[in-house]
């Protein structure tokens, strides 16, 4: 089913006026930045998190909801609230509200996540259960319960991790993000006939409260392996989420997009490249010191670069 694009806007972040989205993990990090970007573009957002201190805050376009993403009953209660809100909007009738034939829910962003950093030699079953409950089961339940509220043109964005694209030392966390990749692909296949798109993004080191709790060595190493040579911010990620929710990406589904400064693209080759560049520089320096005359071993080294 093809969505109606008759009122399609020019900029991805201008294409959300009058729309309604659910964003999980909305109290901080990528989720919070996404809520801000969407509301500034005119959308209404149901901001889901367990960390809200004040459910009444957030502004006119934001409804804060405390919800455990691993609890299907709480998802069902949210779906019922969305249906009730749509009915109330339809009854009120002013321009810009949701009418009988309009969208009840335009999209879902599964940004809630937890980290578990135990390595293989000391990981526990609880580590796996907790990581999978939030990082994999939560998004699966959200898609299962909320997809029926979406019309053709609806969009789901699952926030994975670079840890789900490579070997990650935190085995429970990494495994749960690998699982989310599979869930996203299956959901794109299952929901595609309904006109609902599902895509996954995989951030690298993004400056959030979660990554702030990691040892400083993790940040230093993350910057070292990222070709762009810096960490990312939630504002580096939110525009991509907005694009995937918008009508500018209507034929994009089942995709996986890295937002990691190039970290996952080189597959570990950056360390080799950097080592060879350093060795080449050293060889050049030695050649200069010997008036351009290289030893036999230096010549052989150069031929093998």
pLDDT per residue as tens digits for the range 115-154:
999 999 999 999 999 999 999 999 999 999 999 999 999 9
21 assigned to active site? no
Q: pLDDT value at position 3? A: 54
Reported pTM: 0.84
pLDDT, mean of residues 294-302: 42
Q: What one-character-per-residue DSSP string does 19-78 give?
A: -EEEEESTTSHHHHHHHHHHHHTT-EEEEEES--S-TT-S-TTEEEEE--TT-HHHHHHH
pLDDT above 80: residue 9 = no
Q: What CA–CA distance (Å, rounded) separates 22 from 5?
A: 22
pLDDT above 70: residue 59 = yes
pLDDT above 60: residue 305 = no
Q: pLDDT value at position 289? A: 55
Q: pLDDT value at position 42? A: 94
Q: What CA–CA distance (Å, rounded) separates 167 from 178?
A: 10
Phi-psi region of 221 (alpha: psi -120 to 50; beta: other; left: phi over 0): alpha
pLDDT, mean of residues 270-282: 87
pLDDT: is 63 or 11 the higher one? 63
In whole numbers, what is the pLDDT of the chain averaged over residues?
87
Q: Please, how many CA atoms are within 13 Å of residue 190, restricted to the half-sphere of its CB? A: 12
pLDDT, mean of residues 20-37: 97
Q: What CA–CA distance (Å, rounded) separates 288 from 92?
A: 81
Catalytic pick from 169, 173, 205, 251?
A: 173
pLDDT above 90: residue 91 = no
pLDDT interval class at 68 (50, 70, 90):
very high
Secondary structure (3-state) at 264: coil
pLDDT digits (tens, 9 = 90+) for 228-259: 999 999 999 999 999 999 999 999 999 999 99
Q: pLDDT value at position 52? A: 93
pLDDT above 50: residue 45 = yes
């Amino acid at each position: 089913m093809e969505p109606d694009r008759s009122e399609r806007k020019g900029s991805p972040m201008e294409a959300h006026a009058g729309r309604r989205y659910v964003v999980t993990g909305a109290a901080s990090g990528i989720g919070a930045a996404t809520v801000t970007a969407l509301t500034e573009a005119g959308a209404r957002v149901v901001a889901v998190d367990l960390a809200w201190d004040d459910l009444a805050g957030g502004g006119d376009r934001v409804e804060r909801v405390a919800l455990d993403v691993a609890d299907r009953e709480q998802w069902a209660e949210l779906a019922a609230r969305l249906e009730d809100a749509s009915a109330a909007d339809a009854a009120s009738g002013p321009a810009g509200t949701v009418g009988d034939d309009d969208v009840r829910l335009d999209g879902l962003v599964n940004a809630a996540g937890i980290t578990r950093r135990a390595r293989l030699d000391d990981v526990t079953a609880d580590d796996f259960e907790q990581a999978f409950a939030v990082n994999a089961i939560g998004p699966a339940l959200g898609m299962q319960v909320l997809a029926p509220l979406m019309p053709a043109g609806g969009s789901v964005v699952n926030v994975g991790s670079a840890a789900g694209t490579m070997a990650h030392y935190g085995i429970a966390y990494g495994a749960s993000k690998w699982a989310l990749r599979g869930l996203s692909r299956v959901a794109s296949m299952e929901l595609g006939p309904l006109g609902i798109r599902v895509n996954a993004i995989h951030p690298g080191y993004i400056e959030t409260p979660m990554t702030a709790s990691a040892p400083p060595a993790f940040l230093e190493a993350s910057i070292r392996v990222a070709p762009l040579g810096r960490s990312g911010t939630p504002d580096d990620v939110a525009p991509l989420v907005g694009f995937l929710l918008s009508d500018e990406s209507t034929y994009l589904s089942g995709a996986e997009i890295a937002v990691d400064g190039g970290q996952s693209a080189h597959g570990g080759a950056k360390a080799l490249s950097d080592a060879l560049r350093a060795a080449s520089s050293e060889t050049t320096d030695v050649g200069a010191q010997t008036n351009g005359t290289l030893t036999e071993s230096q010549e052989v080294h150069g031929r093998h670069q």
